[in-house]
């Protein structure tokens, strides 16, 4: 009987393997991004009894062992995502709230500059950049022309 890598990851740190943890991790992987509420919904499709508190505690645990990470996007709702995916930066539209992911590599130079100039070791994966998406920038432009 083989253990999966994620199970080992938890065990190494003295955590137990539970269905809740498995489901939460699967949901995060499947959703790509997800807020705690969204993850709850997803988990409850399979196991309706799972409690929101468990989601929060599980997300903490999974993050502490490095299986997932989270980003704060704007106001209130943290977004969790799989560590499997290639690191990415979130572009968040202030207007329509749409979130676009771009490869972390897009900020490689910026990151290097922060390191060299400010001795700051930026975590690009955690970064959310706010602004206006193409569609919404277009809308504002129309207004200002009117």
Partner DNA sequence: CTATATATGCGTGAAATATGCAATAGGTAG
Partner DNA sequence: CTACCTATTGCATATTTCACGCATATATAG
125: closest CA among 40, 62, 63?
63
The reply on whether position 94 binds DNA by CB under 7 A is no
Distance CA 128, CA 99 (A): 9
**Residue from 2, 29, 76, 145 in contact with a second copy (CB under 8 A):** 76
Residue 106 near a second copy by CB under 8 A: yes
Residue 78 in contact with DNA, rule: CB under 7 A: yes
Pick from 100, 108, 54, 106: nearest CA to 73: 100
Among candidate residues 13, 24, 9, 33, the one with its CA nearest the CA of residue 128: 33
Q: Using CA atoms, how far apart are residues 5 and 13, in angstroms rounded to an integer?
A: 13
**Residue 18 binds which entry of DNA, a second copy, none, with Cβ cut-offs from 5 to 8 Å by kind?**
DNA
Among 53, 86, 119, 144, binds DNA (CB under 7 A): 53
* Interaction of residue 68 with DNA, rule CB under 7 A: no
Q: Applying CB under 8 A, which residues contact a second copy?
A: 72-76, 78, 91, 94, 100, 102, 106-107, 109-110, 113-114, 117-123, 126-134, 137
């Amino acid at each position: 009987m083989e253990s999966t890598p994620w199970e080992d990851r938890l065990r190494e740190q003295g955590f137990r393997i539970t269905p809740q943890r498995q489901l939460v991790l699967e949901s995060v992987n499947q959703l790509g991004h997800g807020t705690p509420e969204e993850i709850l919904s997803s988990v409850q499709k399979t196991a309706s009894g799972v409690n929101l508190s468990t989601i929060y505690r599980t997300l903490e645990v999974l993050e502490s062992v490095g299986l997932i990470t989270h980003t704060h996007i704007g106001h209130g709702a943290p977004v969790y995502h799989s560590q499997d995916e290639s690191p990415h930066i979130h572009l968040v539209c202030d207007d329509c709230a749409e979130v676009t992911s771009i490869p972390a590599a897009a900020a490689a130079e910026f990151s290097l500059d922060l390191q060299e100039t400010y001795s700051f070791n930026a975590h690009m994966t955690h970064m959310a950049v706010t602004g206006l998406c193409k569609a919404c920038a277009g809308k504002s432009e129309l207004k200002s022309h009117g």
